[in-house]
Amino acid sequence: MDSEPWTHLTSPPSAITASHDSTDSSTFLPEIEEEIEGVPPFVCTIDLMSKLLENGLPLVHRFQKWKRLFSLLRDGCSFPTLLHKCRQNKKTVMIIESTTHNIFGCYASDVWENKRGSAQFYGNGESFVFRQDRCGDVKVFKWTGANSFFQLCDQDTSRLAIGGGNGSFALCVEDDFNRGTSGPSETYGNEECLCGGGEGDGWFEILNFEVYGFVS
In a domain, 114, yes or no: yes
Three-state secondary-structure class, residue 160? strand
In a domain, 78, yes or no: yes
CA dist., res. 161 & res. 137, Å (int): 24
Domain range for 135 is: 39-210
CA dist., res. 15 & res. 142, Å (int): 6
The pTM for the full model equals 0.84
Query: Residue 167's CB: how many other CB atoms inside 10 A?
Result: 9
Residues 6+ apart with CB under 8 A from 31: 65, 66
In a domain, 5, yes or no: no
Closest CA to 43 of 66, 64, 59: 66
Query: What domain count does the chain have?
Result: 1
In a domain, 61, yes or no: yes
In a domain, 18, yes or no: no
Q: What is the pLDDT along the chain (216 residues), one digit of tens a residue?
A: 443 333 233 334 444 444 334 334 445 567 777 665 556 667 899 999 999 999 999 999 999 999 999 999 889 999 999 999 999 999 999 999 999 999 999 999 999 998 765 578 999 999 999 999 999 999 999 999 999 999 999 988 899 999 999 889 999 999 989 999 999 999 999 988 999 865 557 899 999 999 999 998
DSSP assignment, residue 41?
Answer: P
